[in-house]
Chain A
Amino acid sequence: DADVTQTPRNRITKTGKRIMLECSQTKGHDRMYWYRQDPGLGLRLIYYSFDVKDINKGEISDGYSVSRQAQAKFSLSLESAIPNQTALYFCATSVGGLDSEAFFGQGTRLTVV
């Protein structure tokens, strides 16, 4: 089983709909992140959380919200989906420490039509 699990893996939704992407981890890491990846733009940080009571905006947080329900769970919501939010979304986790690598989930491919 994957250490960082994202659900769903693929989703097609309509413009204006609310959608939630979920991430759970069994690595016991405190830090969790949401990134989106677009062709030619690379990985960009949406939100991150260093513990259950800590939520921080990343580079591109507009149009998104998050909830850290537990140490192991971090969900990303699109309140009113729009077509330019069509992308590959990755959840990641890490421990603290400057040399700590990030471990990524398998990604959620979201299409907004």
Chain B
Amino acid sequence: GQNIDQPTEMTATEGAIVQINCTYQTSGFNGLFWYQQHAGEAPTFLSYNVLDGLEEKGRFSSFLSRSKGYSYLLLKELQMKDSASYLCAVRDRASGYSTLTFGKGTMLLVSP
């Protein structure tokens, strides 16, 4: 089965940089996704990694190390609107590569 771990909560200051980590233990890993979810709203897609390395998309970057079962989401130049929950999800053999399994999410609070 899958085991996906993320910190429950993080706090950061507007304008700063924050790194949200995700570790996973899966069989037949085949992709990791990051989603953003504001309170009471739908999750929205941020990034996808399947190969080792860094994927950059504007203020957000996502990194993957398959050998370590580790990913992080890096948010730069934090804004108040970045206060949200960040969900890590993996696709692997246990689900027949057909569905995503989500971590419990990391609640990020950005303060002025």
The answer to whether A and B come from one shared complex is: yes
Interface residues in chain A, defined as those with a beta carbon under 8 Å from any beta carbon in chain B: 4, 33, 35, 40-45, 48, 50, 56, 58-59, 88, 90, 98-99, 101-107, 109
The interface residues of chain A lying within 8 Å CB-to-CB of B48 are: 99, 101
Asked if A101 and B33 make an inter-chain contact with CB atoms under 8 angstroms apart, the answer reads yes
| Complex alpha-carbon distance, A8 and B33, angstroms | 28
Q: Which residue from A45, A48, A101, A107 sits with its C-beta under 8 Å from B42?
A: A107
Given contacts A45-B101, A48-B98, A98-B50, 7 further A-B contacts (CB under 8 A): A4-B42, A35-B102, A42-B87, A42-B104, A44-B102, A98-B97, A107-B41
Q: Which residue from B31, B42, B97, B100 sits with its C-beta under 8 Å from A90?
A: B42
Asked if B50 and A90 make an inter-chain contact with CB atoms under 8 angstroms apart, the answer reads no
Report the nearest B residue to A44, measured CB to CB: B102
Asked if A99 and B50 make an inter-chain contact with CB atoms under 8 angstroms apart, the answer reads yes
Report the nearest B residue to A101, measured CB to CB: B45
With contacts A43-B102, A48-B98 taken as known, whether A98 is within 8 angstroms of B44 at the C-beta atoms is no
Asked if B30 and A90 make an inter-chain contact with CB atoms under 8 angstroms apart, the answer reads no
| 10 sampled A-B residue pairs with Cβ under 8 A | A4-B42, A42-B105, A48-B98, A48-B99, A56-B98, A58-B99, A90-B42, A99-B31, A102-B33, A104-B43
Report the nearest A residue to B95, measured CB to CB: A45
The interface residues of chain B lying within 8 Å CB-to-CB of A99 are: 31, 48, 50
